Amino acid sequence: MTDSSAYTLSNLVEELRWRGMIHDMTPGTEEQLAKEKTLGYIGFDPTARSLHIGNLATVMLLVHLQRHGHQPIALVGGATGMIGDPSGKSAERNLLDVETLRENQEGVRQQLEKFLDFKASDNPAIMVNNYDWFGQIGFLEFLRDAGKHLTINYMIAKDSVKKRLETGLSFTEFSYQLLQGYDFYHLYQHQGVKLQMGGSDQWGNITTGTEFIRRKASGGRHSGEAYALTAPLITKSDGSKFGKSESGNVWLDAEMTSPYKFYQFWLNVADEDLSRLLRVFSLKTQEEIEALEQLPNPNEAKRALAEELTTRIHSAEDFENARDASTILFGNAALERIQRIDEKTLLEVFEGLPQETISRSEYESAGNVVDLLSETTHQLVFKSKGEARRMIQQGGVSINKEKITSTNAEATFPLLQDKYLLVQRGKKNHYLVRVVD
């Protein structure tokens, strides 16, 4: 990949390798991808109404596939989502109800559309839902048609199953790999899909598919050749799980994780993880990424990564607001700078902050800062007065960028725009209090 314009069928694997996105491939995968335009798919089960950045890594596999001229298919698991994948799960899962699943499918579908080009002339991305074929199949039909081709012995040997044999695994979850295998077969038969990709935890399920195809389809008009490629799970240098912030999963849905938080997540990535994340998530060229990696101050590279992803997943405007909010909240920008911002911008910029609205009389009746930051603002900042007191004594609280020095300070602070208070707890936690008449 020395020439950034050289996206060819054949160097896809080369690029993925450089990006550290290949964990495992079945033999012949690289040759297949070099030989011809190949249809490849990844399945996403609609377990939530949004994807999170943990899913993003595999989405990127599809993106690269398409950029190199192959044809990506995103499969939404309307059917498999009803079953529950035992891979990587230590206990039986609760089933989602049909209504929730339907909503989730729609959300996931919309998000995938942001990454893939469904209008490309040569290799438009395709979206399929496995409920479309599973919904029609009867149980007996499925047992005769699919179940006959794999042995229990084979299925039990899978890691995801073996690990659960001790603690228990329902027949439903046990069947999951057969469904996923059948998906692959179905796409192979009907659309000529030859490749399935996914995270490394999916290896077992994916190879059930290649095996299934080999046994069922070979000898006919198809060769029975199908391939698997998995990407390593993203790990963090400190051992904690990637994709979680202190407040939980980082979602792609702006309602669930604000663009501001999303932007902040990437800025706060550990130095040691930065290079790997750039390679997996950035669509910049190898030269550009290597240049970023060389920078003496890793923050610049983090900012570039944060900008690229916030823009792609949300919008240029969301990115600008997140960036502006960050400069104001973390920079040395003095009080006058914030006071000068007009109300509309202020609200836009601080949209992602936790907020609470109180009435002017409530504000005026607060005895001191401690009351204001706990009771009066309905536990937005502190859940008890003791906590507020402690934090102030430790010098961790600022209002409108000014440090609070005494717990007895009167609660009379100049409101921004005659309405807002910007409260800071520690270095990274900001809150917006709105006072209304």
Partner RNA sequence: GGGGAGAUACCGAAGCGGUCAAACGGGGCAGACUGUAAAUCUGUUGGCUCAGCCUUCGUAGGUUCGAAUCCUGCUCUCCCCA
Interface with RNA by CB under 7 A: which residues? 238, 246, 264, 267-268, 270-271, 297-299, 302, 326-327, 330, 370, 374, 383-387, 389-391, 394-396, 425-429
- Write the burial class of residue 45 (CB in 10 Å: 0-12 exposed, 13-18 middle, 19+ buried): buried
Neighbouring C-beta atoms of residue 73, cutoff 10 Å: 21
Shortest distance in whole angstroms from residue 307 CB to RNA = 11
- Which of 25/328 has CB closer to RNA? 328
- SS3 string, 102-147, reads HHHHHHHHHHHCCCCCCCCCCCCCEEEECHHHHCCCCHHHHHHHCH
Shortest distance in whole angstroms from residue 399 CB to RNA = 13
Q: What is the dihedral of CA 118, 124, 130, 131, to 10 degrees?
A: 40
Closest Cα partner for 266 from 256, 279, 280, 277?
Answer: 277
Shortest distance in whole angstroms from residue 202 CB to RNA = 30
Query: DSSP code of 341?
Result: S
Closest Cα partner for 177 from 48, 89, 52?
Answer: 89
- Which of 27/239 has CB closer to RNA? 239
Neighbouring C-beta atoms of residue 316, cutoff 10 Å: 11
- Which of 135/395 has CB closer to RNA? 395
- Which of 52/390 has CB closer to RNA? 390
- Which of 102/385 has CB closer to RNA? 385
The enclosing H or E element of 222 equals none
| CA 281 – CA 56 distance, rounded (Å) | 8
| CA 105 – CA 130 distance, rounded (Å) | 11
Q: If you search the block for the tokens 């003496």, which residue do you land on?
A: 296
- Which of 201/273 has CB closer to RNA? 273
- Which of 218/268 has CB closer to RNA? 268
- Largest distance between two CA atoms of the chain: 84
- Which of 95/333 has CB closer to RNA? 333
Shortest distance in whole angstroms from residue 268 CB to RNA = 5
Shortest distance in whole angstroms from residue 136 CB to RNA = 44
- Which of 116/422 has CB closer to RNA? 422
| CA 54 – CA 393 distance, rounded (Å) | 39
Instruction: Return left, alpha or beta for 165; rule: phi > 0 is left, psi -120 to 50 is alpha, else beta.
Output: alpha
In contact, 329 and 424? CB cutoff 8 Å: yes
- Which of 183/307 has CB closer to RNA? 307
Closest Cα partner for 246 from 423, 386, 427?
Answer: 427
Shortest distance in whole angstroms from residue 381 CB to RNA = 11
Shortest distance in whole angstroms from residue 19 CB to RNA = 21
Shortest distance in whole angstroms from residue 238 CB to RNA = 6
Shortest distance in whole angstroms from residue 235 CB to RNA = 15
Q: Which residues contact 17 (CB under 8 A, 6 or more apart)?
A: none
User: Could you write out the DSSP letters of every residue in 137-196?
Assistant: --HHHHHHHTGGGS-HHHHHTSHHHHHHHTT---HHHHTHHHHHHHHHHHHHHHH-EEEE
Shortest distance in whole angstroms from residue 234 CB to RNA = 16
